[in-house]
Amino acid sequence: QVQLVESGGGLVHSGGSLRLSCAASGLIFSWHTMGWYRQAPGKQRELVARITSGGSTVYADSVKGRFTISRENAKNTMFLQMNSLKPEDTAVYYCRADDYSTYWGQGTQVTVSS
C-alpha cells in the first residue's frame, strides 16, 4: 500500500521560510517523478515543483528563485524549501508520486500572514 505523508506546514509571516517533507512508503521511490502541488481556497490545484528520478526539476513561475525541490532517495523522502514566502503562497500543499500510477498525500496547510 502506497503512502505519502507530508509534514512541515504551518503559519509563518510574510518573508519567512518553511521546509516541507514528503515521506513515501510502499513504492520504489527512486523510480518515481515526485512533485509538490498546492490548492488555495476556491482555486484549482496547481503544480508548484517537480523532480524526476534523475533529478531534473521544473518550477512554477510564481515560485522560481524562492522555492527549491529536492529528494533523498536513500530515505524515500522529498523536500520543498520555501523562502521569501508571500501571502499568495497560502494553500494546502500536496505531495504526488508518478510512475505507471499516480499517488497523492493528504496535504499539509501552509498559511502566510501579511
d(CA 63, CA 84): 10
Which pLDDT belongs to residue 99?
87
Q: What is the pLDDT of residues 39-85, one digit of tens each?
A: 999 999 999 999 999 999 999 999 999 999 999 999 999 999 999 99
Q: What is the pLDDT of residues 73-112, one digit of tens each?
A: 999 999 999 999 999 999 999 999 998 899 999 999 999 9
Q: How far is CA 20 from the centre of its chain?
A: 7
